[in-house]
Structure 1
Amino acid sequence: MQRRPVGTSGLEVSRIGLGTMTWGEDTSPAQAAEQLRAFVDAGGTLVETADDYGDGTAQQVLGGLLRGTVARDDVVIAGRGAATAAADSPAPAGRASRAALLRSLDTTLRRLGVDHLDLWQFPGWDPRVPLDEMRSAVQVAVYSGRVRYAGLVAPRGWQLATVAAGAAAGPDPAVCRPVSAQLEYSLLAREAEAELLPAAQYHGLGILAWAPLGRGVLTGKYTDGTPADSRGASTLLASYVEARRSERSARIVQSVLTAADGLGTSPLVVALTWVRDRPGVASAVVGARDAAQLRASLAAEDMTLPAEIRTALDDVSDPV
Structure 2
Amino acid sequence: MQSYALLIGATLSAGTVLALAALGLLINEKAGIVNLGAEGMMLCAALAGFATVVHTANPWLGFAAGMAAGALLAALFGLLVIWLNTNQYATGLALSLFGAGFSAFAGIAYVQARLPELPRYGIAWLADIALLGPALSGQHPLVYLSMLLAAGLVWFLYRTRAGLVLRAVGQAPESAHALGYPVRRIRLAAVLAGGALCGLAGAYAAIVYTPLWVEGMVAGRGWIALALTTFATWRPARVLLGAYLFGGVTMLQFHLQASGVQLPSQWLSMLPYLATIVVLALISRNPAWIRANMPAALGKPFHPG
Same fold (TM over 0.5): no
* Structure showing the higher strand proportion among its residues: 1
* Structure showing the higher helix proportion among its residues: 2
TM-score range, shorter chain: under 0.3
Normalised TM-score (structure 2): 0.26
Higher relative contact order, structure no. (Cα contacts within 8 Å, ≥ 6 residues apart): 2
Normalised TM-score (structure 1): 0.25
